[in-house]
Structure 1
Amino acid sequence: MKRLLFVATAIAPSLAFAQEQGPQPDTAMSYGQRPYYLIDKMEDGPLKEKLASCMGQTPQRTAFSVGHRGAPLMFPEHTVQSNRAAARQGAGILECDVTFTADKELVCRHAQNDLHTTTNILVTDLAERCTQPFTAATPDGGATAECRTSDITLAEFRTLQPKMDAADTTAETPQEYLGGTAPWRTELYTDGAELMTHAESIELFRSLGAKFTPELKSPSVEMPFDGFSQEDYAQKLIEEYKAADVPPADVWPQSFNLDDVRYWIENEPEFGAQAVYLDDRYDVPEGDGGIVDPNDPATFQPSMQELADMGVNYIAPPMWMLVTLDDAGKIVPSAYAEAANDAGLNIITWTLERSGPLANGGGWYFQSVEDAIDSDADYFTMLDVLAQDVGVAGVFSDWPATVTYYANCHGL
């Protein structure tokens, strides 16, 4: 029921907007080849039969499919082109990770300090402004750099060229450092990619018929920054939706900082009702309120019910926290998932299609079920458990077509 509510409130205004505006060339949808490629790799069984039976379906936009930084499996993240690709793959909600520049303007970047890996800043005149200029690799260590959006103004940010998020730590020159793209990603779609401000992302996503899930990123600078407090930062994000006349029901603001979520709940209750607590307590040492074991509810601090009592309605952990293996080696919901559902929390999860090829257990995002993961086809295996058994309300993906296909096939 929670999942249906999430989809209904998210997508109905989207369809209304499309009807008002008439046909939108940028919203023509296609699954492309990847979902079919994954289905072909699946072992015979009920799930493969179900997914194969939907091969003739017409793609439909769905809020169950959330574009994670757009579609960064093949497009530079947080660019106009990456988000157009995600929308064309049927993502009903798109993400702008929000950080700020030296003049306190909001822009879309995964981290405040990632310009050295996501843009060409190191081979521009702005390189000298970086917090940590480029240092070449030596026998004692790899190449390093750190360039922050807060090192430059918005006008200077606009001069940068985005690229695939990667770095070659064996580099001896800044030009070499710009390489390092994983072999299962691509450089085919980087030329001419365009950066975005947060306000520009709002207009783009609306034009694409999608809704909004901005993430307030943790600052790399000490706050307050030149008088700009954390509360000012959280409020400015909301103000840009108000200025664009975006209904609060179309926005799912996110943060890993529970204090940000509580700020929105208390100060912007209409937006706070859909604020998403991105749960990274798995990474907090025992004794500091961290989650030590997703299968031991006693370690959840605060508890799921305490989160609900604070007014939190949405929680978003990584996929692996929501699943475990039973005695027969089957993927099943974890105690964490069961506790979140028992507390009435809506669950969103991240990030499908971020792991590349799934041989040898699938890596970080599949760590709790690695013994059951041995093929790329297991993207659908994991997705099916998350949707049908855990009951998630939405799934972030680096290639939304996979989630869209599944959701369309199952009427989500």
Structure 2
Amino acid sequence: MRYVIFLLGILLGGCQVTPKASEPLAQVGPRPLYLLSQLPEGDLKQRLEVCRQQPFYRSEFSLAHRGAPLMFPEHSRASYQAAIDMGAGIAECDVTFTADLQLVCRHAQCDLHQTTDILLRPELAAKCSIPFTPADPATGRVANARCCTSDITADEFSQLCAKMDGVNPAAMLAKDYIAGTPAWRSELYSQCAAPLTHRHSIALFQQQGVKMIPELKQPEVPMPFQQQYTQQYFAQQLIDEYKAAGVAPSQVYLQSFNWQDILYWLEHEPEFGRQAVWLDERYEQPGFDPQQPQSWQPSMAALKAAGLNIIAPPLWVLLRERDGTIVPTAYAKAARAAGLDIIAWSLERSAPLAKGADWYYQSLPLLARDDGAILQVLHVLAQDVGVIGVFSDWPGTTTFYANCLLAPE
């Protein structure tokens, strides 16, 4: 029956279901259909409408960005499980280290004050690099704190409750400071979500049968840490934990913004290094322009010659407006011409687009004015840019699209 649905979908407009009997069903939920309702009438909407009632299956095009943090606390067990249930075929643990040099999943080394309840635990809050300081309306001082994974041990980290990312800068009390979730995200599933060590994330992803895309986070403490913990040791420790768990290199896509990390993996761990993903932040360089190759040196060909196979820029670096349509940038075309695969980040990390300009969509000021643009962006990334995957804070959307309009994996 599954093959009948697959063939019928092709005849009715390209709707495709991944024909892998071993893949579990995915529950994409109502959000993809909400986004579909926002699409203007046209060919894309007609093709996606055909897929409304079909079954959906896991897809490696669908990458879980920190889990499913649109509604679940990022890098928590619940967030990862939600993403996997929505069909994410690859899940991300952003990796940093603790005071006892253990690896844990956290987007930034020093974000515990805004992503966990550490400030409500006096013994642990006392260890924070910067204790909570209340706002002072008289002077205009905003509330502040800085709590790092490197301030506490892995056991202490595991005692915390993960929460939705956000703080209230006007807070007078710690309990109000951590209650800063943006209004467009949800706290419905934020009841003491369990944070994970890197090893625990590996075990979960192995048990669930998904691939892994860890990001080695840039340390926010001086390196070498504790006089002997170097950046290269950190980069090697990440791989060693996959080896210890018996994870094949083909199941892991190492990520880093640090080009030296990529070079280290290519030289010292080539089996893992060949799938390493360079998170390209050359957009921070003065004068960067996705249409001007001289502004993003070294060239794509030089990166490929150095051994890189996958590059990952933000959405806006890959897309631009031309004559009322969304098209690939020169950057996107050059990457593909050089033989580089592309992963894009991050879909559904933004407030509703109708609320105004957004960093991820800055190159689409006229065409990304409502949430219907999310599916349009996804379509151009998949069909015209040719990305191999897209990070999303709500992987049900990317799973829906991949099952509907991409060729079976």
Normalised TM-score (structure 2): 0.92
Matched, 1:370 2:365: yes
Structure 2 counterpart of 1:322, which letter?
Answer: L
The answer on 1:148 being equivalent to 2:148 is yes
Flag structure 1 segments of 5+ consecutive residues without an equivalent. Answer: 1-11, 20-26, 287-291
Q: Is the contact between residue 92 and residue 213 of structure 2 (CA under 8 Å) also seen in structure 1?
A: yes
Alignment of 1:143-292 (within 5 A): 143-226=143-226, 227-285=228-286, 292=288
The one-character-per-residue Cα deviations of 1:193-223 (angstroms, maximum 9, x if unpaired) are 1110101101101111210000000001111
Cα pair 2:25 2:55 within 8 Å, conserved:
no
CA distance in 2, matches of 1:192, 1:123: 12
Q: What residue number does 1:301 align with?
A: 297
2:131 maps to what in 1?
133
Asked whether the equivalents of residues 25 and 57 of structure 2 are also in contact (C-alpha less than 8 Å), the reply is no
CA contact (8 A) 1:361 1:373 kept: no
User: Helix, strand or coil for the counterpart of 1:409?
Assistant: helix
Give 1:157 deviation, angstroms.
Answer: 0.8
Q: Distance in 1 between matches of 2:25 and 2:100?
A: 37
1:167-203 alpha-carbon deviations (Å, 9 max, x no partner): 0000011111011111111111011411101011011
CA separation in 1, counterparts of 2:25 and 2:291?
42
Distance of 1:325 and 1:192 partners within structure 2: 43
2:90 paired residue number: 93
Distance 2:281 2:374 in 1: 22
- CA shift for structure 1 position 360: 5.0
Kindly indicate whether the alpha-carbon contact (under 8 Å) linking 2:63 and 2:88 is maintained by their aligned counterparts in 1. yes
Match of 1:107 in 2: 104
Q: CA deviation at 1:28?
A: 5.0
CA contact (8 A) 1:361 1:371 kept: no
User: Equivalents in 2 of 1:95, 1:169: separation in Å?
Assistant: 29
1:333 matched to 2:339? The reply is: no
Letter in 2 for 1:337: A
Match for 2:30: what amino acid?
Q
Read off the aligned partner of 1:354 and give its amino acid letter: R
* Range that drifts further, 352-361 or 147-156: 352-361
RMSD: 1.4
The letter of the residue matching 2:179 is G
Per-residue deviation, 1:361: 4.9
Given candidates 333, 343, 347, the residue that maps to 1:352 is 347
Checking the alignment, whether the CA contact within 8 Å between 1:361 and 1:372 is kept in structure 2 is no
1:314 is matched by which residue type in structure 2? I
Counting matched residue pairs gives: 385
Call closer, same or farther: CA 1:381–1:84 in 2, change over 3 Å.
same
2:404 corresponds to which residue? Answer: 409
Query: Aligned partner of 1:284: which letter?
Result: Q
Structure 2 residue corresponding to 1:311, chosen from 298, 307, 312 = 307
- Confirm or deny: 8 A CA contact 2:25 2:58 kept in the other structure: no
Q: Which runs of 4+ in 1 moved over 4 A?
A: none
Q: TM-score, normalised by structure 1?
A: 0.91
Deviations 1:122-155 (A, max 9, x none): 1112111111111111232211110000000111
